[in-house]
Chains A and B, each alone.
Chain A
Amino acid sequence: MNESRPAAPASASRPAALRRDAMGAERRPWLGVALCLPLGLFLVAVFLVPVAGLLPASLTATPGVLGRGLEAADGATLANYARALSPRGELAAFRNSFLLSASVALASLLLCLPPAWLLARRDFPGKGALRTVLALPLTFSGVIVGFLAILVLGRLGLLPTLLAALTGERLLAGSAYTLGGLAAAYVYFEVPRAVLTLEAAFRRLDPEVEEAAATLGAGPWQRLRRIWLPLSWPAVASTLAVTFAASMGSFGVALVLARRLSVVPLSIYTQYTGFLDSGLAAALCLLLAAVTLAANGLLRLAFRGRDYVYG
């Protein structure tokens, strides 16, 4: 499973040097353990232990500031989870995050099908440049995307200024701070994720199927409808999962843009640093991680055994 070509079975006809050979992976597992030890220790200390530590923290009652949290109590309690999912607690944040992420995932899928298709299946001058430009938002953290949204859709933003020149009214002024503006900013950072995920998937599709259809006289439109669409549902599923998970986890955009409404990552930050309610923050962290891991799990199912990307 680990190598692209399976090792040939050791047979009597092979030279003795090869049979004793350390290439036979199974014969020197201790060497593998030794080589992986630093990485393993790093992952345990910097990832597994802290993330596992969220569980006991989430089961502990924390009063927070201003007594906004819970009465300190002995023993484990599920109260933090109840508060996280109650209408008076953070349920609104979950609803916002979920609706925002689902609609943004769908919108970016539709927006990005044509460029992904062209990049994967067609040759044209400037293709690399087009891909680089579309990939650019990948490298922006959320706060940068939020700042860009303010430049374009803020109160003195570019678009309201242009619209004012055209129509005399400052349309869309300050829309960066609304749910719609948040969604637009999310779509901005999802475009490269969707384009590149779809492109990679379109590339993996076997061109011989298309060749066969072409010899049988199928035109481009027919090939798209009868071959590519049925074959590319895993690509569509993985794109939806990748973009959905990225939006659910996005913190920086909301940190810059969100005013009245909240999304889960922002709630985590506010609860932890603002209200010092580490119990509720830990519960929210675990619930959020469960959602994004579930999205990635679905992605895995769609791609059974093949190479897939995490969101």
Chain B
Amino acid sequence: MSMARRLLAKQRRLGSGWGEGIGLAYCLLLALAVLLPVVVVVLGAFVPAARLGLSSEQWVEGGEGWVSLKYFRYVLDLYSGPLLFSVGLAVFAVAGGLLLAVPAAYGLVRYPFPGSKLLEEVALLPLAVPGIAVAIALIQTYALIRGEWWFVGLGHLLYTVPLLLRTLLHALRGEGFELERAAATLGAGPWQRFRRVTWPRLRRPASLGCLITAAVSWGEFNASFLLATPVNQPFPAALYATYTSNSFAVSSAATTIFLAVILPLLIAVERLGRGDLLSMRQGA
């Protein structure tokens, strides 16, 4: 067996065959194709369109260089409200998510009750129903509070809580009961056990879940667009507004601001918990 292991270890390293060389080249090509539009956006945000010979603008300031921050200034002026709204929503989603998901995950794993499996299924269900359907259902049922910031926040929680809950459940189930059992034999009550034994070990998955929550909330479109009203929109909805009514450069600058927040979060999640990367998905 050890020979086979060595053989496999050798084959796990790349470059042991021309087939894999082609495979890797193909992957790089795919990665380039994914990256290309993103690079175009970032370039388009910094380089004045007139320089690219693509200007449709009425006002082109004379004598400007290759790099300009004027589009960012424009976006920050125009969309400081939506930007702050979105930051607030992300904070709301993280805080609300922890309040809902941490006790629930602990209860579901440590004190299961009749119907706890069902509750778990229902909690994951919002991810399986198209976002537009849920958003329409929400504004139909709660037409009167449409546009309230916390209503939009509740809509975000619908998509972030399942992700946080799943991360926590996974961690709790993987850890086992031994330490808590030991604490119980030593006379620790449920609250003490949770605070002193369980929570310290949940901190890491919980932080990962919070990063994912913040990222999903920052980019969430369906709820942001449909539960809010045009007077007071979160940033993803404002992005759509720039796409329909602003120039390519302004849209690019707004998208670059979106990227500047999402990229560090994505890299952090890849580093901390590769397996949870898929959780960062946005309802497209």
Q: Which residues on A are within 8 Å of B, measured CB to CB?
A: 1-5, 7, 15, 17-18, 21-23, 25-26, 28-36, 38-40, 42-43, 46-51, 53-54, 57, 111-112, 114-115, 117-118, 121-124, 128, 130-152, 156, 158, 186, 188-189, 191-193, 196-197, 200, 207, 210-212, 214-215, 220-221, 245-253, 255-256, 265, 268-269, 272, 278, 281-282, 285-286, 288-289, 292-293, 296, 309-311
Contact = CB atoms under 8 A, between A and B. Distances in A.
B35 A145 contact: no
A135 B266 contact: yes
B137 A138 contact: no
Nearest to A157: B40
Given A18-B181, A39-B101, A47 B173 contact: no
17 contacts: A2-B116, A18-B185, A23-B180, A33-B113, A39-B100, A39-B161, A46-B158, A111-B30, A123-B14, A130-B28, A141-B282, A148-B41, A211-B1, A211-B4, A249-B130, A265-B132, A282-B137
Contacts of B132: 249, 251, 265, 268-269, 285, 288
Interface stretch (B64-72, B76-84, B102-110, B199-207): B102-110
Given A128-B270, A152-B36, A54 B116 contact: no
Given A39-B100, A220-B19, A268-B132, A46 B108 contact: no
Contact of A134 (B34, B177, B239): B34
Q: Which residue, A25, A35, A158, A296, has most C-beta atoms of chain B within 10 A?
A: A35
Sorted nearest first, the 7 A-B pairs with minimum C-beta distance are A35-B107, A249-B130, A32-B111, A141-B221, A29-B113, A285-B133, A148-B37
Interface in B168-195: 173-174, 176-177, 180-181, 184-185, 187, 189-190
Interface string B1-43: 1011101100111110101100110111011001111101100
A108 B24 CA distance: 17
A50 B266 contact: no
Given A39-B101, A128-B271, A215-B4, A3 B176 contact: yes
B91 interface: no
A133 B236 CA distance: 21
A28 B141 CA distance: 36
B233 interface: no
A35 B103 contact: yes
Interface in B44-77: 44, 54
A5 B181 CA distance: 13
A267 B175 CA distance: 47
Interface of B: 1, 3-5, 7-8, 11-15, 17, 19-20, 23-24, 26-28, 30-31, 34-38, 40-41, 44, 54, 99-101, 103-104, 106-114, 116-117, 119, 122-134, 136-138, 140-142, 154-155, 157-158, 161, 165, 173-174, 176-177, 180-181, 184-185, 187, 189-190, 215, 219-222, 236, 239-240, 243-244, 248, 251-252, 255, 258, 262-263, 265-267, 270-271, 274-275, 277-278, 280-284
Q: Which residue, A26, A54, A138, A286, has most C-beta atoms of chain B within 10 A?
A: A138
B251 A143 contact: no
